[in-house]
A and B are shown apart, each in its own frame.
Chain A
Amino acid sequence: MKKVLMKGNEAISEAAIQAGCKFFFGYPITPQNEIPAYMAKHLPKAGGRYTQAESEIAAINMVYGAAGCGARVMTSSSSPGMSLKQEGISYLAGAQLPCVIVNIMRSGPGLGGILPAQSDYFQAVKGGGHGDYNLIVYAPSTVQEAVTLTMEAFDVADLYLTPVMILGDGILGQVMEPVEFIPPKKRKLPKKTWATTGNDGSRPNNLINSLYIEADVLYERTLAQYKKYDLIKEKETRYELYNTADAEVIIAAYGSTARIVKSVIDGLLEEGIRIGLIRPITVWPFPYTIFEEYASSDKVKKFLTIEMSMGQMIEDVKLGVNGKKPVDFFGRTGGKIPTYDEIKGKVIEVIREVTA
């Protein structure tokens, strides 16, 4: 298939359309505005429909209604808007509705800024809304990976009956790269017999619901949900290892930050210094096991987490490393992107500590 040059936001949109997304509910916010614009222009041509909601709150609830009817449906926003969606996301998780939610992160808290950040990590992977639930959260680092994961997200959502989040940042949303749209490996997906589509009496009424007023019932339902989460952890956890063999220092970074880290790793390798990167591709489920594995290796002396935040993913890295090795941190936030030199400086500092 021919490569096309596309912005991350547009490529995510096209990937969604090609994955069979038929309904999109949007609301403007920078830096994700290309997504609703692309959907408004191209979704009708694919037999779908774009709807501009009156708020992010309304948009996520429209997603709920549409997902409840069994349609492939998506919404997107950026950090402040994602906060508004959290209530709806909790309901979607509670009602076990499949859908895809894109967060092109900008800096916070509050109105924050419009420049890239990774400070919604906690919100994305530790709940965000109320109650016991998780989302599958993909953290693509290139436009091509965003395309692949978005296409797959719809299948994964339908398979496990859960909302799936694409967690990008302003860099991923705005950067243009050549991409190919290759359909993901076919998965056997269950029929959506639970969807509310109108009942002619041939089956019991279908109900989309997250209310279980009896404690015993909600308890059992939640346990069943968490069994499903265990299966997701087992089957869907993904990460990339970059240059980790023989590395004494392992960096943990995801998304756009991981790209800058890779540049630094490449640069240092030319100087004969070997450091590695573990890049979580799913930040939920988090690849704890691989961190544990490297932490148990005598070769590895130290971990360094690098984020565009004040340190959020580092908590999961520490859970994986489990006290076996020290975990250091370097972060830039507020819309400041860590530079090549800054990261390199920190890495060299860590290497000196390790070799001292």
Chain B
Amino acid sequence: MKTVFEKTKGLTDKTFHYCPGCTHGIVHRLVAESLVELNVLDKAIGVAPVGCSVFAYEYFNCDMQQASHGRAPAVATGIKRVLPDSIVFTYQGDGDLASIGSAEIMHAAARGENITVIYVNNAIFGMTGGQMAPTTLIGQVTTTSPNGRDPLTDGYPINMSEMLAQLIGSTYIERVSITNVKNVKHAKKAIKKAFENQINNKGFSMIEILSTCPTNWGMTPLDSLKWLDEKMQSVFPLGVFKEVK
């Protein structure tokens, strides 16, 4: 039988634990494929966050470190200091990166750390059961914003890509989504470029990937994709926010 598609060597054989309709699986594959295609899997050291993707270390087929909540960019900094020729990436959710780890990501970018950050934004704390995140939209219902996020008490969503793009230290910041084939293909290109930048010593790259959480959003996977396209993208527009050539 002719092989038309196979799982990338960048992923292990471990079965994903993610919920049905969750887009972490797609993002994992894109990252893993990029490492393989760029021929750097043997030099890759990934840093897993705390959150739904905490077990990322079981899925990426390379050396991994598991970081405490929000500190993945600091851990990655430590790794890159010791092994400057390794390819270091963090894989973080919005609770990890935009909430508890906002200082670490900011300063890693400001230092121009030559690392690749994969930032998966699904506007909610997933693993802990659907609490309000800094990225939760105004009016969005979560367990800790039962009447919808109210800016008077809860403030406004944080746009990390726009913020980090302002820093002199950052090199490449883009927000992508994976809601259809075209978007997935583009996301892959962006992720690959973020790794290429690191290979070429260009400095800090972050790809923000808008992602769904059907379970905690209380929607079907298809409705989730629609909600992402319509609602999330109006707050978190897609595009390149910074690219130093």
Contact = CB atoms under 8 A, between A and B. Distances in A.
Asked if the two chains touch in their complex, CB atoms less than 8 Å apart, one says: yes
A23 interface: yes
A65 B78 contact: yes
A68 B48 CA distance: 13
Closest 3 A/B residue pairs (Cβ): A65-B78, A196-B63, A61-B74
Interface residues of B, number: 33
Nearest to B65: A208
Interface in A42-70: 49, 51, 53-55, 57-59, 61-70
A220 interface: no
Given A55-B103, A58-B71, A88-B71, A64 B64 contact: no
A25 B83 CA distance: 15
Contact of A69 (B57, B66, B74, B78): B78
Nearest to A208: B65
B78 to A, nearest CB: 3
Given A58-B107, A69-B83, A198-B83, A207 B78 contact: no
A87 interface: yes
A53 B74 contact: yes
A85 B76 CA distance: 17
B37 interface: no
B66 A198 contact: no
Nearest to B100: A57
Interface in A160-217: 196-201, 205-211
A73 interface: yes
Interface in A265-287: none
Nearest to B80: A65
A198 B44 contact: yes
B65 A207 contact: yes
A193 to B, nearest CB: 12
Contacts of A196: 45, 63-65, 79
B186 interface: no
A6 B236 CA distance: 55
Given A68-B78, A196-B65, A198-B62, 15 more contacts: A25-B78, A55-B103, A57-B74, A57-B103, A57-B104, A59-B74, A61-B67, A61-B68, A65-B77, A69-B45, A197-B83, A205-B61, A205-B62, A205-B63, A207-B57
Interface string B69-94: 00100111111111100110000000
B54 interface: yes
Contact of B63 (A58, A91, A198, A210): A198
Contacts of B62: 198-199, 205
Interface string B129-148: 00000000000000000000
B42 interface: yes
A69 B79 contact: yes
B79 A66 contact: yes
A30 B104 CA distance: 23
A115 interface: no
B104 A65 contact: no
A350 interface: no
Tier of interface size on chain A: 35 or more
A211 B66 contact: yes
Interface in B137-186: none
For A23, A68, A71, A197, the residue with the greatest tally of chain B CB atoms inside 10 Å of its CB is: A68
A196 B66 CA distance: 11
26 contacts: A51-B81, A55-B103, A57-B71, A58-B104, A58-B107, A62-B81, A63-B78, A64-B67, A64-B74, A65-B79, A65-B82, A69-B79, A196-B63, A197-B83, A198-B44, A198-B63, A198-B86, A198-B87, A199-B42, A199-B62, A201-B42, A205-B12, A207-B64, A207-B66, A209-B65, A211-B54
Contact of A197 (B63, B64, B107): B63
Contacts of B74: 53, 57-59, 61-62, 64-65
B47 interface: yes
Nearest to B77: A62
A73 B78 contact: yes
Interface of A: 22-23, 25, 49, 51, 53-55, 57-59, 61-71, 73, 87-88, 91, 95, 196-201, 205-211
A49 B103 CA distance: 22
For A25, A61, A68, A71, the residue with the greatest tally of chain B CB atoms inside 10 Å of its CB is: A61
B43 interface: yes
A205 to B, nearest CB: 6
Given A61-B67, A197-B63, A23 B75 contact: no
A95 B78 CA distance: 15
B107 A64 contact: no
A71 B82 contact: yes
Contacts of A95: 66
Contacts of A62: 74-75, 77-78, 81
B64 A198 contact: no
A306 to B, nearest CB: 37
A24 to B, nearest CB: 10
Given A68-B79, A73-B78, A54 B86 contact: no
B71 A197 contact: no
Nearest to B84: A49
Contacts of B82: 22-23, 65-66, 69-71, 73
Contacts of A64: 65, 67-68, 71, 74-75, 78
A54 B78 CA distance: 13
B75 A61 contact: yes
A51 B111 CA distance: 10
